[in-house]
Structure 1
């Protein structure tokens, strides 16, 4: 397994095209692996190619990729990077082995994390109607999606709670009957987006049906509860819409200061 980082040159037309279409970015990412054919699909329990875009500032967008094999991002450098400054030592992206981090995961350890996900639930609008998958749209429901006890058990971690002296409200709630997780947990939603695009059907040479994906980017602190389950989460992804930049969870050592990284 490898984790790679590529900084997108947002001034280039090719970059703007990729950033405007999750499907185009997915195709560009998958083209980084000559051993993976367009028709290949991973087995349910096997590692897969995951990717995520992090907008750190207006002109600083980072593409993260977690993959079974080492990628060749030469085409991305040419289309959306800085090809003129590429050298043998600096090809325009960074890749490193993921195994050292995966191997060191231990129950009870705490990490800072970042995740972009597609939080959804099933609803039935009227009696007798088939349930439909619908996106969570409000921060409190998006947080509740990740904080679900059964989901966290499957993923192999739990989101850490804040100590009482760091909560702004008693017991971390805004209302006696409706607890607000934003003050109880080390968890914040840094960004929400609604991505709308047409799913292309290249084989038929025409556009497919329109697709809308609602994403939420979470940051916070987690505690490892099941190292094997967390390794699966890190290498297989979390939730739906993984082809469109969702599901990639990344970890970093907790900073010494209270600030979340």
Structure 2
């Protein structure tokens, strides 16, 4: 699988927003670091439909949102236009960025780091961040913790959650099927959405696939160091709780220490 084949889960931006747009746990810490960055442009990498970009712009910060998926960017642009926000949206591959500027603060949320499935893709992404970050600038990103619970899931359909589709009033039951490839540290996930009408009948079923790369904490230390970053903080959640062995996420606050 190459980096452009891992986009199936994002082919429906409207569905993505239905399921994810209300999530705001990461916005508070992003606002805190945005305020520390003072003047200048903030860069949101793998911005999607602007879930985290738009709240920062609403607070008066200047943003560039970057994503490789044109449909997600078009939806982000439409949402920003409706709110009269002047956000620059750029379609580029985040492993080979060329934005022509440097920033004091760059972030990438939504566990987007896991979309870079190979060592070369991870390095390309971090090199791009380094080249667009000012010296001593801050880079924040999150990724799932490689716990047994995450990696040793049964390769069978498992219920995840349900929600109501507000447009159709259908109930949507969401299931996942996961299998982990330990040699490549990639978890292959199928998401199954079953749309159920008021009579309880399944009227539609949609399946999407995505691969997610997992990185261990000591491995991440080395990856960041060789790409010119120092880890200043690592948390297990967006409330800035210390990382523990039973964590579900790793939230990294990094400082650029050298040019590459």
> Could you state the TM-score of these two structures normalised by the residue count of structure 1?
0.28
Structure number with greater CO (CA < 8 Å, separation at least 6) is 1
Question: Rg larger in 1 or in 2?
Answer: 1
> Could you state the TM-score of these two structures normalised by the residue count of structure 2?
0.28
